[in-house]
Amino acid sequence: MTLDAGYSGARLPQGVRARFVTGVNGMVMHLLEAGYETPGRPAVLLLHGFPELAYSWRKILPRLADAGFHAVAPDQRGYGRTTGWDPRYDGDVASYRALNLVRDASELVSALGLRSVAAVIGHDFGAPVAAYCAVTRPDLFRSLVLMSAPFGGAPAGPVPESIHAELAALPRPRKHYQWYYSTREAEHDMHDCPEGVHAFLRAYYHVKSGDWRDNKPYPLKGWAAAELARLPGYYIMDLRRDMAQTVRPGMPSAAEIAACRWLPEAELAIYAAEFSRTGFQGALQWYRCATGAEHIAELKPLVGRRIGVPAAFIAGASDWGVHQVPGVFERMRSTVCERMTACHLLEGAGHWVQQENPEETSRLLVDFLKSSAA
């Protein structure tokens, strides 16, 4: 099947275009960009997370362009209209390892004819990819913004297996969502759920947003089952529930959906159409590489390496993602990022901060980019 640039049914903001770039680490990469008309502008690379697309930056791209930047957001490996990635559970999982995702980003910069970018900005699972870009290629990625997912440095090893038994042994038996996402069943559970992909994504986006009143995050005391169980069910799941079952009770009412200005039905339909077409497995491979010891091992040479480029952090104040790994937010600020200029938690926003509050997110990004350049 031949794909068109741009998403079916999507109305992109004025000044934003879609196109394909070939020769990116074995892939044809689909991207959205703004500010491309004027040669020589400083470039910014924006990396989405799960379950997202380049489209997640639709509200940010034109604002960065208005501020004088060439803003580029690709569909990453496993997502959207980028092609050349392996969609099979039993396929080339290693191609989704962190350092190969860094290579994807590096080769995209090269394919665009750029010698470097002013910043790499990563949201959710795009944040650790952006962080590893800054760790390994500070010459290419000259500053860093992490959004919604703090970075605590390369892991010294996998999480002890005992935590899973401890979670399962709780009075209310539980499991960690990242290990659930690494199972063979997760793709089917979400893609083929009874309510359909659109309704599943509506509930998933809602329960992790600032619209869900139960999102009142706070720091946890440590990596112990009883403490992790304080996290919402979409992070520490009921042992016998899949993700569609987990978020189903959080489905907003028809009135709440109609009132949702940051993700109206027509925009959610873009995500639903793409994930209905591609499935979720390519995206879920990232979790398998984050939880599997054989994949984590490649990061061992980076243990203890700090980030020396200017850095900032932005998240919603109602985002549990800031605290889902106890101590990482604090370690990022105190140790990992040597030149962290600011951490911003935006009131009223949850996990999807660049969609929920694009005005303030864009203002903070522009301020950071200009101060870093100065």
Distance CA 248, CA 257 (A): 14
Residues 357 and 317 in one domain: yes
Distance CA 303, CA 21 (A): 33
Burial class of residue 253 (count of CB atoms within 10 Å of its CB; 0-12, 13-18, 19+)? exposed
What is the rounded average pLDDT of the residues 302-328?
Answer: 97
Residues 6+ apart with CB under 8 A from 68: 35, 41, 42
φ, ψ for residue 73, nearest 5 deg:
-130, 110
Chosen domain end from 256, 285, 314: 285
Residues 39 and 141 in one domain: yes
Kindly state whether residue 292 falls inside one of the protein's structural domains: no
Residues 100 and 183 in one domain: no
Predicted structure pTM score: 0.98
Radius of gyration over every alpha carbon of the chain, rounded to an integer in angstroms: 19
Distance CA 263, CA 204 (A): 12
Residues 46 and 94 in one domain: yes
Residues 176 and 77 in one domain: no
Residues 96 and 42 in one domain: yes
- Whether pLDDT at 233 is above 80: yes
Could you tell me whether strands 43-47 and 70-74 are parallel, antiparallel, or unpaired per DSSP bridges? parallel
Residues of the chain above pLDDT 70, percent: 100
CB 210 within 8 A of CB 316: yes
Q: Where are the beta strands (DSSP E) in the chain?
A: 16-24, 27-34, 43-47, 70-74, 119-123, 144-147, 174-176, 236-238, 311-316, 340-346
- Determine the pLDDT at residue 285: 98
Kindly state whether residue 293 falls inside one of the protein's structural domains: no
pLDDT of 141-185, one tens digit each?
999 999 999 999 999 989 999 999 999 999 999 999 999 999 999
- Whether pLDDT at 215 is above 70: yes
Structure tokens at 27: 């892939």
Residues 113 and 234 in one domain: no
Residues 21 and 152 in one domain: yes
* Domain assignment of residue 134, given as a range: 16-156+301-373
What's the number of domains the chain is made of? Answer: 2
Instruction: Using alpha carbons only, give the angle 245, 323, 178 rounded to the nearest 5 degrees.
Output: 40
- Determine the pLDDT at residue 29: 98
Residues 52 and 113 in one domain: yes
Q: Is 365 helix (H, G, I), strand (E, B) or coil?
A: helix
Q: Is 56 helix (H, G, I), strand (E, B) or coil?
A: helix
Q: What does the mean pLDDT of the chain come to?
A: 97
Residues 26 and 147 in one domain: yes
Kindly state whether residue 170 falls inside one of the protein's structural domains: yes
Residues 79 and 32 in one domain: yes
- Determine the pLDDT at residue 2: 74
pLDDT of 60-98, one tens digit each?
999 999 999 999 999 999 999 999 999 999 999 999 999
Task: Select from 29, 58, 46 the least CA-distant residue to 263.
Answer: 58
Kindly state whether residue 59 falls inside one of the protein's structural domains: yes
φ, ψ for residue 190, nearest 5 deg:
-90, -45
Kindly state whether residue 151 falls inside one of the protein's structural domains: yes
SS3 content of the chain, % helix, strand, coil (to 5): 40, 15, 45
Kindly state whether residue 1 falls inside one of the protein's structural domains: no
pLDDT of 257-281, one tens digit each?
999 999 999 999 999 999 999 999 9
Kindly state whether residue 238 falls inside one of the protein's structural domains: yes
Could you tell me whether strands 27-34 and 16-24 are parallel, antiparallel, or unpaired per DSSP bridges? antiparallel
Chosen domain end from 285, 311, 337: 285
Burial class of residue 331 (count of CB atoms within 10 Å of its CB; 0-12, 13-18, 19+)? middle
Chosen domain end from 261, 285, 309: 285
CB 61 within 8 A of CB 32: yes
Residues 28 and 134 in one domain: yes
CATH number at residue 140: 3.40.50.1820
- Whether pLDDT at 254 is above 80: yes
Would you place residue 1 in the very low, low, confident or very high pLDDT band (cuts 50, 70, 90)? Answer: low
H-run or E-run covering 181? helix 177-181
For residue 158, give the DSSP letter. Answer: P
- Determine the pLDDT at residue 374: 79
**Region class of 78: left (phi > 0), else alpha (psi between -120 and 50), else beta:** left
pLDDT of 320-363, one tens digit each?
999 999 999 999 999 999 999 999 999 999 999 999 999 999 99
Kindly state whether residue 146 falls inside one of the protein's structural domains: yes
